[in-house]
Amino acid sequence: MNQHPTALVSKKAEIGENVSIGAFSIIEDDVIIGDGCIIDTHVSIKSGTRLGKNIKIFHGSAIGGPPQDLKYAGEKTELFVGDNTILREFVDLNRGTVAHGKTEIGKNCLFMAYAHAAHDCTVGDNVILANGAQMGGHVEIGDWAIIGGMACIHQFCRIGEQVMMGACFKATQDIMPYTLAAGYPLQCMGVNAIGLKRRGFTQATINSLKTVFRILISKKYTTPEAVKKIEDEIEMIPEVDRVLEFIKSSKRGVTK
């Protein structure tokens, strides 16, 4: 371990091999840091934090702090961050509450400066939160989603996989997988076609999804009517089935 002499690292923390800890950073008890992690200057890593391998945490980040929830009474909870994730300057990640017990950030994610994940959030792999994006408690974000700068996500909302949510917008309902979301109030703007092409989705799949979302966002149908029409008329490829499953399991309703 390469530890700056001004860093404070608890002897009760588990530190992997080839870890670098910068000046004035503080690592508390009951912290696990995997091999190859780089901790920059003035970083705070609180008890209950579990970091995977090859994570980079930049200056001033606050990792694993207690939930900003008045119901929290000091229970032992955790924060997990997956391998190869990058947390830029002043990122703030909170531990879970007893409701879920943990906050989970996936592998290969990028949280840009000042991004925030509140208690009990679940973030998939390869997710990007741009500068200042904010997540309320219990938010779920699927794999490969991209959240624009200064965007806000209401507590208990779900953001589906492969979503692109524009900067400075506010989500108060679930955002369906594979979609673009923007506007005031937030709307489904159609399929995230460019993102899907970049990740190897076929044109046939993208075309099927375009047909599905034209039906879903049409003012001619209620959401149950649109789902029924899709089930009756559209081939149930896995991506279409996933969209319908997401809608049926939504508790806050979906952005249309």
**What's the longest Cα–Cα distance across the chain?**
67
100 is catalytic: no
User: What are all long-range contacts of 33-36, with beta carbons under 8 Å and residues at least 24 apart?
Assistant: 34/83
Catalytic residue, candidates 119, 132, 148, 174: 119
Q: Which helix (H) or strand (E) holds 241?
A: helix 238-248
**Rg from Cα positions in the chain:** 20
* C-alpha span between 166 and 126 (Å, rounded): 17
Catalytic residue, candidates 40, 92, 120, 143: 120
Give the three-class secondary structure for 7: coil
Closest by CA position to 158, among listed 135, 180, 186: 135
Query: What does the block give as tokens for 24?
Result: 């004035």
4 is catalytic: no
How many residues are listed for the chain in this entry?
256
Catalytic residue, candidates 48, 64, 65, 137: 137
30 is catalytic: no
The set of catalytic residues is 119-120, 137
